[in-house]
Chain A
Amino acid sequence: MGSSTSLVPKSVTAAINAHGFGYFGCPHTFGQVGYRLKRTEQYIRVKPDNSSVVTDGVKHSMNPFCEIAVEEAVKLKEKKLIKEVVAVSCGPQQVQETIRTALAMGADRGIHVEVTGKDYETLGPLQVSKIMAALAKKEEAQLVILGKQAIDDDCNQTGQMTAALLDWPQGTFASELSLEGDKIKVVREIDGGLETIKINTPAVVTADLRLNTPRYATLPNIMKAKKKKIANVKPADLGVDITSRLEVLRVDEPPQRQAGMKVETVDDLVGKLKEAGMV
């Protein structure tokens, strides 16, 4: 699964769940496992002009699937199967906090790809995948681990696009991951159950919920993480053009749930359906 679409329509309406939970970044882990972190919002409402959601002062934290990806990378390092874990996040100054959390969980160093202002608002999976692909090549990563999707936009595209741009195999929706020599065995969660595949390295893997339980970032580790390095990079330095091909027309809250109705007989039901123009 995971076909990557390279052609996207010029404009699209986005309706997002106003009570959604936001996170930052799907971590990419390079293997030197690198992972990309996304920072997302919590408890949001739509702006009065319906252009987007209010993000001012709203708490942002690491995307839960990204936490799982970070955890998996750190676990691989603890098993001594990989040498170095690099955490990557794209965004404004605040993503440094999210990278620090990843460093506190066990990553070795971080890369902050600076994207601010308008560019950040329109930053989507395609641009992020381009950045990831460029960084993966530059860092000579063996494995890129991301969260399967971000819970603010639910796109589920970045991992797949990154693999396509790099022309690497992908193991998406991973619920189990093991390294076997120079291949990776991935057990994937699919509609029909579980699918086990073996892919060559270097590869891209996206983490699903049951892959692991992320550890807490404890205070002593947060303090130690302050000493770990976070490098600053701009997309232009990587030769990536981050202009968006998408235009958000409108953002609306989900429609209020209408009360249901109880009917006594089947005839009543048919009658009501006819009234509503459905039969």
Chain B
Amino acid sequence: MFPASRYSSKAHRCIRALKTVQTEHAAPQLYTTLNRRTCSSVSTPRITTHYTIHSREKDPRWEGIEMERFADEADVVIVGGGPAGLSAAIRLKQLANKHEKELRVCLVEKASQIGAHTLSGACLEPTALRELFPDWKERGAPLNTPVTEDVFSILTEKHRIPVPMLPGLPMNNHGNYIVRLGNFVRWLGEQAEELGVELYPGYAAAEVLFHEDGSVKGIATNDVGIAKDGSPKDVFERGMELHAKVTLFGEGCHGHLAKQLYKQFNLRENCEPQTYAIGLKELWTIDEKKWRPGRVEHSVGWPLNRHTYGGSFLYHLNEGEPLVALGFVVGLDYTNPYLSPFREFQRWKHHPFVAPTLEGGNRIAYGARALNEGGLQSIPKLTFPGGLLIGCSPGFMNVPKIKGTHTAMKSGMLAAEAIFPKVTAESLDSETAGLHTPEYAENLKNSWVWKEMYAVRNIRPSFHNYFGLYGGMIYTGIFYWIFRGKEPWTLKHCGLDANQLKPAKDCTPIEYPKPDGKISFDLLSSVALSGTNHEGDQPPHLTLKDDGVPVNRNLAIYDGPEQRFCPAGVYEYVPLETGDGMRLQINAQNCVHCKTCDIKDPSQNINWVVPEGGGGPAYNGM
């Protein structure tokens, strides 16, 4: 490989040493009996073909392919058509109309239509909505179900301990509405279009663009027409560049572009790592006799043990037919790699307090999404030259209330108000080509969002004590309900969720009951109900930094937790076609874009990137 004559003897020795190291790695040998079956003597089959891991610059298949991108200019570009992104867009246009200024606002959204990737419980607190549209009722916002009763329980395997919902407790929902958030987001999209926002669903922002001075220039949408093996197809088309004075990133919980921005601008150096939970949800039409519209039920306890954060929700909607939205949340700082959030959800539905509501009913939808649990301690730096972060991406969720929509909307609105004077100014008074707007972070700190997050900041971390759940509830009762979060200390989280898993050998496998097909179901039929689909012939968008790590580390040490925490059955360990051992099979088409794998992979080897726009779940009013 190296022309031997060219190098000094020192170099020769180095080269020889390198060559030896290479051959050693070709056949890794782990000698414990436990691991013998999991390690293969065959070299790792190629799994990842995505160009973010295997660059196209030196790839001979890409020689001669036209890589020029069409570029367009806007005043503001917003990534993500969720509550935050749409509220920001709407607020910008409201201000532009009020001050009679021209403003081009472009919003890109990876779902094929606005609202199709939205999933939430949800009990909406209408505070931000009232500020955005005081006349929301006349405009027909789909808030059809005011909360009428609020029920909180601690579940044991067979029984239920009721907890009184006293006013002042974070879970009290008086004045709120049960909504189908997907429908609400769709309505927001319609309002935005009416105001003149350019909405582009079906186009995913795949790349952040930078000016020469390092500030953000805009985004580029995904390329289309790349085959599964990474080569260009006949229909290959480059994505498009959208340049803007300011780019707002509202990708929702654990966005993939935000992940890059954290590194690029060092936005997380003064905050704790974000911690997350996974929320799984189903929609059921139930027997009319069991239907109590406006009823909100929450529970903690069974089937989770006291050290695993999580709980359930069940909301009775009032939209014409007897519809309930129910779901289960599991904190992703769980330690047992044998835990399967999906199966905990299915198991919970059989509880004597829950099952009667569902008996005789029909499941019509399923979905899952990660959500933020870090609260105030995990909010990163929010602004950088050329852009800022809004919504669940930095994470403004009020964890004990399990509400993040109202704070996400408010953050979008505050962002719009902060950048408006700058983008409409006659001259661009800025050090960098992309505008820097630290005023946004200032305004947010002075708003009710920050007050709310400050008051509840210690509730989630208070669960990390010997008594687990019960310690947390006692802490909440004393310090939140009585003292309103005014205690002078701020508790810390435990670190990255990915580092919390214990090795499989130290944990007991969990025996989950088989699904009965009437109340509980298997994974694949559930995934089918999410309507998820992707163009099959494209590189898997669940990329691995190192193709060997899943079998060598995740399977060997943690028994492959990704086959259990993925709510869509994307990851499967299957036996190799020849020889002994297993390989990881990635069923990228099943992905519901929940981001749990990127969060919980103990090796942090999985990097979720955006697939071709339009792919993913087809949620309808979730």
Contact = CB atoms under 8 A, between A and B. Distances in A.
Given A218-B237, A220-B70, A57 B620 contact: yes
A120 interface: no
A198 interface: no
- Among A57, A213, A219, A223, find the residue whose CB has the most chain B CB atoms closer than 10 A: A219
Interface string B248-261: 00000000000000
Q: Which of B321, B528, B620 neighbours the largest number of chain A CB atoms within 10 Å of its CB?
A: B620
A219 B234 contact: no
A210 interface: no
A45 interface: yes
Contact of A219 (B115, B183, B221, B364): B221
A59 B116 contact: yes
Contacts, number: 46
A240 interface: no
A251 to B, nearest CB: 16
Contact of A215 (B203, B235, B364): B235
B240 A42 contact: no
Interface string A212-224: 0111101110110
Contact of B531 (A43, A216, A219, A220): A43
Contact of B620 (A58, A61, A218, A223): A58
Contacts of A59: 112-113, 116, 531, 618, 620
Interface in B100-149: 112-113, 115-116
Interface in A182-218: 213-216, 218
A215 B237 CA distance: 9
Nearest to B621: A57
Contacts of B618: 42-43, 59
A220 B239 CA distance: 9
A45 B186 CA distance: 20
Given A213-B235, A219-B240, A220-B72, A57 B183 contact: yes
Nearest to B612: A216
A53 to B, nearest CB: 12
Contacts of A215: 235, 237
A23 to B, nearest CB: 13
A35 B183 CA distance: 33
B112 A45 contact: no
Given A43-B531, A57-B186, A58-B620, A216 B112 contact: no
Interface string B176-206: 0000001100100000000000001001000
28 contacts: A43-B531, A43-B618, A45-B364, A57-B115, A57-B182, A57-B183, A57-B186, A57-B621, A59-B112, A59-B116, A59-B531, A59-B618, A59-B620, A213-B235, A214-B235, A215-B235, A215-B237, A216-B224, A216-B225, A218-B239, A218-B240, A219-B200, A219-B203, A219-B221, A220-B70, A220-B72, A220-B240, A223-B72
